[in-house]
Each structure stands twice: as structure tokens, then as C-alpha cells.
């Protein structure tokens, strides 16, 4: 019930705070809520508005849009059945910058937290003017030797080696 009362405002302003919810519901409808109740209600409505985090994998067809909109880009997803396995993205402009002028490349990984677990691997390069270029990145299941080998193989293929 409360979700229906605040859904419109959350759609307009995703930063609608629990304090604002308390104040608005009290002024408009005379409803008194605790901070925790308003917090839970806001999170519930956000979940309704944005869907579950797992549903965001529906956005993965964006890889095709990346390749279509950026010449020479490489972006693809590997699935294990219907389960996410790997995602790799390398934008054509940064690949070309690396090939034409960057000599050093650095790779590293960081663990992801939140509703999705896994690791993000990134390859960056430094040009002669000390500008950093994101050459490629990948989202993988874990930081294993097999996943690193896959990432570095994809990177080598993108760079023509």
C-alpha cells in the first residue's frame, strides 16, 4: 500500500530519501513512519522500479550495440547454457591508440561485490603523454588461471597478435 504512495516520487527522483518519505507522508496523509520503515519501503519500490538485479542481465544485448556504434570494437558474451560465463569489451578507438602509440600495457583485476559476484579484469595503456587508455575489460566468474588466460587471449586477438 505504501509502495503505491511513493512509487511516483521515486520514479521522478531515485534519490528520494527515507527522511523525505517520512516528511511527505506525514504532511500529505498524516501517516507516521519510522526511519527504518521508510527505508524498507523505499528499497521495495526501487526493486519494483528497477526489477531484480538478476534481471539486468537482459541488458547484455548491448554488446551488439557497442560493436555497431564503435568501429573496430570487440564486445561479446559467453554463456554456459543460459548462465553468464564471460563478457569482454574492447573499444576500437582505444585499441587503435594502443596499436599506434602506446608501448606499455598494464593488466589487473578486482573482485566485484554486491548482488553479482565475479571479477573485473582490465587492461590499460599509457601513451607518451602519460594519458591512460582503457584498452579492454572483462567480467569473469572468478580470478582463476583459466579466466586470465581467456582474457589475455581475447586481448591478443584484438591487438592482431
Convert the pLDDT of each residue in 3-25 to its tens digit. 788 888 877 777 788 899 899 88
Grid cell locating 28? 500529505
Give the least confident one: 14-23, 43-52, 69-78, 117-126.
Answer: 43-52
Name the percent of the chain lying above pLDDT 90.
Answer: 21
pLDDT score recorded for residue 56: 52
* pLDDT at residue 117 is higher than 90: no
Query: 108 is written with which cell numbers?
Result: 589487473
Residue 115 clears pLDDT 70, i.e. is over it: no
Domain boundaries, the chain: 2-50, 57-158
Q: How far is CA 155 from the centre of its chain?
A: 20
Query: pLDDT value at position 122?
Result: 94
Report phi then psi at 154, rounded to 5.
Answer: -60, -40
Region 100-118: mean pLDDT is 82
Q: Residue range 101-120: average pLDDT? A: 83
Asked if residue 123 has pLDDT above 90, the reply is yes
Give the distance, in angstroms, between the CA of residue 60 and the centroid of all CA atoms in the same chain. 10
| pLDDT higher than 70, residue 41 | yes
Amino acid at each position: 500500500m505504501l509502495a503505491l504512495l511513493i512509487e511516483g516520487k521515486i520514479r521522478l527522483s531515485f534519490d528520494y530519501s527515507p527522511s523525505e518519505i517520512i516528511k511527505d507522508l506525514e504532511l500529505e496523509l498524516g501517516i507516521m513512519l519510522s526511519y527504518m520503515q521508510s527505508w524498507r519501503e523505499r528499497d521495495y519500490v526501487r526493486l519494483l522500479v528497477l526489477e531484480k538485479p538478476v534481471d539486468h542481465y537482459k541488458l547484455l544485448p548491448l554488446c551488439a550495440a557497442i560493436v555497431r556504434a564503435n568501429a573496430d570494437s570487440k564486445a561479446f558474451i559467453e554463456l554456459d547454457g543460459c548462465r553468464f560465463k564471460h563478457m569482454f569489451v574492447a573499444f576500437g578507438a582505444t585499441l587503435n591508440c594502443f596499436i599506434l602509440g602506446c608501448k606499455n600495457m598494464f593488466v589487473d583485476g578486482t573482485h566485484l561485490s554486491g548482488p553479482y559476484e565475479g571479477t573485473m579484469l582490465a587492461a590499460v595503456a599509457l601513451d607518451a603523454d602519460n594519458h591512460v587508455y582503457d584498452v579492454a575489460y572483462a567480467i569473469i566468474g572468478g580470478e582463476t588461471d583459466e579466466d586470465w588466460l581467456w582474457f589475455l587471449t581475447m586481448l591478443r586477438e584484438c591487438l592482431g597478435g
